[in-house]
Amino acid sequence: MANIVIGVTGGIAAYKAVDLTSKLIQAGHNVRVVLTDNALEFVTPLAFQAIGRNHVYTNTFKEEDPSVISHIKIGEWADVIVVAPVTANTIGKLANGIYDNMLLNVLAANTKPVLMAPAMNVHMYNQPAVQRNIQQLMTEGCRFIDSESGFLACGYNAKGRMADVPEIKTYVEEMLAIEQKLKGKKILITAGPTREAIDPIRYLTNHSSGKMGYAIAEAAAARGANVVLVSGPVNLPVPPGVERTDVESTQEMFEAVKEHMDADIGIFTAAVSDFTPKAVSGSKLKKTDGQEDYAISLKETQDILKYVGAHKGDMYLVGFAAETHDVRKYAEEKLETKNADCIVMNDVSDKSIGMDSADNKIMMLFNDGSEQDFPKQDKQTLGHYIVDTIVKRRDR
């Protein structure tokens, strides 16, 4: 049983929120409802009050109980807040820090997980500003259950319809279950590239941006985990609630990882250098007139994933295999030779999902022979799916 707040905004799909409230109450949850002024054009407080037997909140300035401030107390009471439907207007206001109604004030004062179920015309949904605002809210920890394709109130048969009520209910209950399983668990994540010095000026590195690892770290922290992020040099902000350790070389990353071998889950997304110069020049290497060929002798770096696999104990180990050819072959080999529980493989020869891209397309291979495929999507959304999948598999 959980405490769930349902926020309802002004769209025709608001009538489905009555059914969602009913389904959650039938499942044994406590539900409180907050309606925006625009939602009142489509549904009435009485409908929700009759089902939930709770006061329905509509006005920030109408305090039924003078001993509390309602828009703060509601968030403290909740285990999760579900906004269904959420309109382009509410998405835009929340993303830009505008809190001019009861629901937005509840969200402004909230520290609990938030799930949003968008519903709008397909052209509105695809507006760059709407998509930009959704991405902004996702970076701040909000989760979205994607709209469906189907018949819309405007007459279109296209994407924009709110997800079905049973699907939202299932998503909410899975969120709550995962929150409980991850709360207080230690998750170690590596991200970004490493740099191997040639001289004081130059180094060997790769094109990794760290975006996938940071998205996973953000998703794990949002679910209550204690996240340690060992990061190579990237230009990304530290996700909220994440402890970051900055490193440069593969050896430095290895030393940082060894300090956190007590993690419950290890997710190794970093694109570490496989080779490092045998000797590093103490001064900048200079050109020599007439010399056409230069050579740098290399040696292999420490295999971090293999070391962790050999010493992991109870850690659930997830590695990444970013390959340019024979992707599945190399991923399957890595799964076995590194003693991993899961390998996440992706084809980085595809520039649209390669290193430094905003999107990714992956397949998760598990050591029991099963697999989970995820279509191309933005890395922040994918980060949530990866974390949820890992938690479900680990606790089987």
The domains located in the chain, with CATH, are 3-180 (3.40.50.1950), 183-394 (3.40.50.10300)
DSSP string, 44-96: -HHHHHHHH-SPPB--TT--S-TTS-HHHHHHHH-SEEEEEEE-HHHHHHHHT
Helices 128-139 and 88-95 sit at what angle, rounded to 10 degrees?
Answer: 50
CB 51 within 8 A of CB 20: no
| pLDDT score at 222 | 85
| pLDDT score at 265 | 97
| pLDDT score at 395 | 78
| pLDDT score at 77 | 92
| pLDDT score at 113 | 87
Task: Give the residue numbers annotated as catalytic, written as ranges.
Answer: 154
| pLDDT score at 151 | 59
* pLDDT per 10-residue tile (average), the chain, 396 residues: 94 94 94 96 94 89 79 90 96 96 94 91 89 86 79 59 92 86 93 94 92 94 93 93 96 97 97 93 82 84 96 96 87 94 89 82 93 87 90 85
